[in-house]
Amino acid sequence: MSAEPARIESATSPWPERRLRAEQLRARHPFAAELLTLYVALLDVQEEAWSDFRESPPPPGDLPRWAEARVLPAVVEATRAAGPATLGEAAGDRLAAGTARGALEGWLAGAELDPVDRYLARASLAAPLEALGEGAGAECDAERGGEDGLLCPCCGGLPQLSCIASSGEELVSGKRSLLCVRCGSSWSWSRSVCPACGETDEARLEVHGEQWQGPVSGNGHGDGHADARPVFPHLRVAACTTCSRYLIEVDMQRDARAVPEVDELAALPLDLYATDQGLTKVTPNLMGF
């Protein structure tokens, strides 16, 4: 089911591509404009943190302190400037109280965090963990891969989303991979196995596609019929009826310009639809959806 982690990232900075895609989706989807405006502001902070970390990384085990001093204040400032007022106020309170270090350490340890602490920890640690690559596991306490290979083999994080690669041939499906919520690594995963519970009965694995006239269900190959133009022709809900969990799935064959971690943020209607169906996301994204 799983394989060695394959880095999405190389030595080339990923931030310009993410920024361009976020700006495109912000213009295309007004319902996601507020969320993507904050994300673009965070990208500026994360790009600088990624570069700083690569040039002068802290000693092993010192990442929480480094991120608290070098990244967290800029994350809070960006959130106050570009995010919802309630989130900006809560983030500022955490910074003023000096309690954020515990959230950063908790995120690396795989602890349950409240939404504000989780947001601050993710936004502050994503860039340095991505810069570490396969070395990210040394900074994280969670078991790599888990008992059933359901966790990231690099750092032990949960999967954030599912991605189907383009095969280059119209009638041939590409390989599936999962993207780690914590370090941004990807790992191979079977299309016939639930990433949340390991269910292998394909009758219990469902996909749902959202369209202008409302969500329709199908098998992910165009069998769900609707007359309207799809909002997200390359996105769908990949769900399991055994555990009632789901991930957003990005089909690169349908849109080669997609940047999975950015497109997943804009898929608010899909998340709302999944919730209406009684499904729970394997893990919320950076913005809490």
Q: What is the pLDDT of residues 65-107, one digit of tens each?
A: 999 999 999 999 999 999 999 999 999 999 999 989 999 999 9
Instruction: Say how far apart CA 54 and CA 202 lie, in whole Å.
Output: 43
pLDDT of residue 149: 73
pLDDT of residue 145: 59
State the DSSP code for 158. P
Compute how many other C-beta atoms are within 10 angstroms of the C-beta atom of residue 85: 8
How much is the pLDDT for 1? 46
**Distance (Å, whole) CA 18 – CA 10:** 14
CATH class of 159-281: alpha beta
What's the one-letter identity of residue 251?
D
Q: Which residues of the chain have pLDDT under 50?
A: 1-10, 212-213, 219-222, 224, 226-227
Phi, psi dihedral angles at 205 (to 5 degrees)? -105, 120
Q: What is the pTM of this model?
A: 0.88
- For residue 220, the model assigns a pLDDT of 46
Residue carrying structure tokens 């790992």:
187
Distance (Å, whole) CA 238 – CA 250:
10
pLDDT of residue 13: 87
Backbone φ and ψ of 271, nearest 5°: -65, -40
What does the buried/exposed string (b/e) look like for 133-148 if buried means 16 or more CB atoms within 10 Å of the residue's CB? beebbebbebebbeee
Q: Which helix (H) or strand (E) is 197 found in, with range?
A: none
Map residue 105 onto helix, strand or coil.
helix
Helix then strand then coil, in percent of the chain rounded to 5, is 45, 15, 40
Question: What is the Cα–Cα distance from 81 to 245, expressed in whole angstroms?
Answer: 34
The per-residue pLDDT for 143 is 66
**What are the sequence ranges of the domains in the chain?**
11-139, 159-281
